[in-house]
Amino acid sequence: MSSQTEDGDKPSTSQQQELIDEYERFGDFVENVRKTYEKLYRELVLPINDAHLQPFTKIPLEKRGILIKNSNALIESLRERLLKHLLTTWNDFWVNGGVSESLILLQMYKEKCKRYEGKNWKMWSKTPLERTRPIRMRLNENRIHYLEAQLQCQRQQLKEALENNAEHRKKVEEITIQRTLLTKAMENYEEKFELDKLKILRLQQDLLSFDNESTTIETEKK
């Protein structure tokens, strides 16, 4: 017995008791169906007679040490073994396949659908567009799910691209700052170099003047 309702929620105690009562109410119906099938299987093997053994008369059974003394006993044994095999297979299918529970649920649903008896459920009066509307809606729903998945993937890719872009932009800003600092340093060095260059020129001029004066003094002394 299922422990959940049609909506998938766990049933309450009263709902569980109601389900148990429904199962018990249809218990006799299920048992009658089972007995009917068993009766049909018995009727299936009952017609077996001597005519069904005629194909075996062409086989030389006596040469193989097989002697049929009583065909009636053989037929009866064949019936019993065949019926036993059929019923065993049938019972395994009934139990393992949950046939009892399925029949009870079928009867319960049939009772619930009684209020719809007499209503016209045919679709032939509808246009092809109306008939295919559920299929198209389902197809559109699948397309929406697919597009949502694609959109989510693109959002993730965009997020990663923005993160990489921000990282690259940060590196570019750092390089720009370093370049500005280096440019400023070079300008400072150039200014200092020009100043030093002027000082060197003055020193050279002073040295030249000093040499000229020294030469003049020595000449006068002579």
Q: Is residue 17 part of a domain?
A: yes
Q: Is residue 121 part of a domain?
A: no
- Best CA proximity match to 53, nearest among 27, 73, 30: 73
Q: Is residue 220 part of a domain?
A: no
Q: Is residue 21 part of a domain?
A: yes
Q: Is residue 174 part of a domain?
A: no
Residues 6+ apart with CB under 8 A from 78: 48
Domain total of the chain: 1
Q: Is residue 107 part of a domain?
A: yes
Alpha helix ranges (H) inside the chain: 13-25, 27-45, 71-96, 99-112, 128-131, 133-221
Q: Is residue 87 part of a domain?
A: yes
- Is 0.85 topped by the overall pTM? no
Residue-wise pLDDT for 71-110, tens only, equals 677 778 888 888 999 999 989 999 898 888 888 888 888 8
- Best CA proximity match to 99, nearest among 155, 11, 45, 37: 37
Residue-wise pLDDT for 148-203, tens only, equals 999 999 999 999 999 888 888 888 899 999 989 998 889 888 888 888 888 888 88
pLDDT band at 57 (very low <50, low <70, confident <90, very high): low
Find the domain containing 88 and state its range. Answer: 13-116
Residues 6+ apart with CB under 8 A from 49: 75
Q: Is residue 85 part of a domain?
A: yes
Question: How far does the chain reach from its first CA to its final CA, in angstroms?
Answer: 141
Regarding predicted confidence, which is higher, 153 or 120?
Answer: 153
Share of the chain above pLDDT 70, in %: 76
